[in-house]
Amino acid sequence: MIEVKGLVKTYGAKRAVDGVSFKVNRGDILGFLGPNGAGKSTTMKMITGFLRPTAGTALVDGHDVTQDPVAVKRRIGYLPESAPAYGEMTVQEFLGFIAEARGFRSAAERTAQVDRAISLTHLDPVRRQSIETLSKGYKQRVGFAQALLHNPPVLVLDEPTDGLDPNQKNEVRSLIKSMAAEKAVILSTHILEEVEAICTRVIIISQGRVVVDETPAQLQARQPGARLDVIFRSLTQSDV
């Protein structure tokens, strides 16, 4: 579903992402781990076609993001970090705009998609409220609804549970899990227990390079009995 081939992004002399390659298949939930500044978000931004890679490319459903970015963008639902949205719009207006821009031209189609996304993310109580007045948890869910709206085969979620309370975190996780069967999901996170809870694969990225690409069980097997954060620290120590 997603094939990342030797992605490189340089900012001046700094190599933020330094030759990242991996594959994600349908049904996979890939957990993207790494210290802040390791290049997680930059990699995601290149896969979604927001940033142009310095070298390398990513294929989504067979479409090359450097050749045909619009085709790739059509197939991806993307939740950017801290879920930006047009604050002066109401939830309903905002999702309606996303639906229209995603190609749902008739009003009936649009309403159907918006209603589906709103019910999936439980946004019904605030649908007529402007986004800037919402709490962090609701804003995050609006970002999530926006990413799910067109029922994309690929989901790229940058810290989807950031800023949510434990109940909301749980809810988002079960939502991701329930959809995972027919989708390829990449999510970045700082929470190691999240990886154990929902991910089928883990990639740890450190200083722009992939240092681990295995299942959570294999990661645990590196140091049996140790907590995941201990293993994480020993793998990414070069960053500190």
Partner 1 sequence: MRSIVPLFKREFLGYFRSPVGYVFLAVFLVASVILAFFVGGFFRGGTASLESLFNFYPWLFLFLIPAAGMRLWSEEKRSGTIELLFTLPVTTLDAVLGKYLAAWAFLSLAVVLSFPMAVTVAYLGDPDWGVLLASYFGSILMAGSYLGVCSLASALTKNQVVSFVIGTLACLLLLFLGLSVFNTLLSALFPTWLVDLLANFSFSTHFEAFTKGIIDPKDVIFFLSLSGFCLFLNVVALER
Considering only residues 14 through 53, tell me which ones interact with partner 1, judged by CB under 8 A.
45, 48-50, 52
Q: Judged by CB, which is closer to partner 1: 128, or 227? A: 128
Q: Are 58 and 4 spatial neighbours (Cβ–Cβ below 8 Å)?
A: yes
Residue 5: CB atoms within 10 Å = 16
Write out the two tokens for 136. 């962090």
Which of 172, 191, 167, 141 is closest to 31 using CA atoms? 191
Assess 62 for contact with partner 1 (CB under 8 A).
no
Q: Quickly count helices (H) and strands (E) in the chain.
A: 9, 10
Q: Mask: binding to partner 1, 134-173, rule CB under 8 A, as x and -?
A: ------------x---------------------------
Task: Label residues 54-70 b or e (16+ Cβ within 10 Å = b).
Answer: eebbbbbbebebeeebe
Say whether residue 8 binds partner 1 (CB under 8 A): no
Binding track over 69-88 against partner 1, x by CB under 8 A? -xx-xx-x-x-xxx-xxxxx
Cβ 182 to partner 1, closest distance in Å? 21
125 is a site residue for partner 1 (CB under 8 A): no
**Cα distance from N-terminal residue to C-terminal residue, the chain:** 34
**Could you list the residues that contact partner 1 (CB under 8 A)?**
45, 48-50, 52, 70-71, 73-74, 76, 78, 80-82, 84-89, 97-98, 100-103, 130, 146
